Amino acid sequence: MREIVFDTETTGFSFADGDRMVEIGCLEMVNRVETGRTFHAYFHPERSMPPEAQRVHGLSDAFLADKPLFPHLVDDLLDFIGDSPLVAHNASFDFGFLNGELKRCGRTTVAMERMVDTVAMARMRHPGAKHSLDALCSRYGIDRSHRTLHGALLDAQLLAQVYVELTGGRQIGLVLVSEAVEESEVMAPVAPTVVRAPRVFAVSDADRARHAAFLKTVVNPLWGSDHTM
C-alpha cells in the first residue's frame, strides 16, 4: 500500500486568518517502508514572516524572497501525492493549509477521508502521555539530534519512523522474500538425511517352544473355544 507522509511549515496557525504555507515536505512509503522518493518545496507566502513563526522554522523573508508561488509547483505536488492516503502529525492543521492553498489557486481540495492523523493514533495507543513529535521520538528511541529547527522534510522523515512504530513497529527477523529471488539465495543448503536400515527381530525356536508350553497351562482359554463376547 502506498502512503505519503508529509509536513508543512507556515507563517502562523490559521489559513483563514491570512497565514500561508511556506514549505512542504513529503515522502513516499510502500507497505510502511520508505522508498526514497520525496517531494520538497519552499513557497513565497506573499506576506511577511512573523518573528514568532521564524523562530520555529528559521525561514525568513529574505530566504523566501526568490521562492516560487504555490501555484507554480502545484502540479508537481499533486502528481507526487496522487490519490494515496496522507499521513501527518496533527493532520487537521496540515490539511487546512494544503487545502487552503489548493482552493486559493482553483484546484480540487484533498478529501478528508484520506487523512491519517498520528496524533490521534498516539492518543489511543498512549493515553495520558505526551504526543508531540519530539516526545514520540524519545519514546521510540528515534534519533532527532540533527533537528535544531522545524523543517518540513526533516519532520516528515522523523514522522515516518514514528508512524511505523505506531502501527506495530518493524518486525525484526520477519523477512518477506520476493518470488523472483532464487531459493539458493535465501536458504542454506540442507544436509541429506541418513536413513538407518530397519532392525530385524526374529523369534527363535526356543522362544516358540516356551510360548507353546505356557499356553498349555492356561485353564479354559478363550481362544479355540466357542465362547463369544
Active site residues: 150
Non-local (6+) Cβ contacts of 12 within 8 A are 18, 19, 50, 53
* Strand order across the 86-88 sheet: 33-42, 21-30, 2-10, 86-88, 115-117
R_g (Cα) of the chain, nearest Å: 35
Q: Can you read off the three cell numbers belonging to residue 3?
A: 502512503
**Helix count and strand count (H, E) for the chain:** 9, 5
Q: Can you read off the three cell numbers belonging to residue 144?
A: 532527532
- Please report, as a single letter, which amino acid is at residue 211: H
Task: Report d(CA 89, CA 119) in Å as an integer.
Answer: 6
Non-local (6+) Cβ contacts of 76 within 8 A are 39, 41
- By DSSP bridging, strand 86-88 and strand 2-10 are parallel
Return the bridge partners of 115, or none. 86
- By DSSP bridging, strand 2-10 and strand 115-117 are unpaired
Q: How many CA atoms lie less than 13 Å away from 148 in the CB half-sphere?
A: 2
